[in-house]
Amino acid sequence: MRVLCDKKKGSVKMRFLTVSITVFCFLALSQGLALAQQDAMLAVAEEFHKIDKDKSGKLSPEEMQSYQEDKFGELDKDKNGYLDISELSTDRTGTHRIADKNMDGKVTKKESDSQFREYFQQMDKDKDGQVSEAEYTDYWKLIYRF
């Protein structure tokens, strides 16, 4: 009988330990995700301020176009006027990959321009012709699900 009781005690202790470790891991993971989300939001806000050249707190279509041209130029390492698979693989954001509408494995300047106009229209929720920081960050929250 005593052995049976000891086993039960041990079993309860083991369950408690397992639950404790599980809860600790969950909390640690949650904290890690929260920090990663915070970092992502800071990166998005930082990018917004880079694009906002006139520091108006809103992005104009011209600012977005200028940003797109700069990014395209940075990615087009061989300066042949289009982004191939290897160049697209260096795009951390993945924003240019979606632009390959004809699915030929290349993104032309024209495709990139068209995609960024589409991004702008999707971001501009109130349709005032400008993108606020809130509209910009809300858009990227949906895209990256953070």
Give the start-to-end residue ranges of the domains of the chain.
2-144
Percent of the chain with pLDDT over 70: 72
Task: Find the distance separating the first CA and the last CA of the chain, reported in whole Å.
Answer: 55
pLDDT at residue 21, as a whole number: 56
Query: In terms of CATH architecture, what is 2-144?
Result: Orthogonal Bundle (1.10)
Q: Where are the beta strands (DSSP E) in the chain?
A: 58-59, 82-83, 107-108, 131-132
Q: Is the pLDDT of residue 144 over 90?
A: no
> Could you report the per-residue pLDDT of 61-92, keeping only the tens digit for each?
999 999 999 999 999 999 999 999 999 988 87
97 DSSP 8-state letter:
G
Given this model, what pLDDT does residue 3 score?
Answer: 45
Q: Which residues of 27-47 are buried (b: 16+ CB within 10 A; e: fewer)?
A: eeeeeeeeeeeeeeeeebeee
Query: pLDDT (tens digit, 9 = 90+) per residue, 31-44?
Result: 444 445 677 778 88
Residue indicated by tokens 């300066």? 79
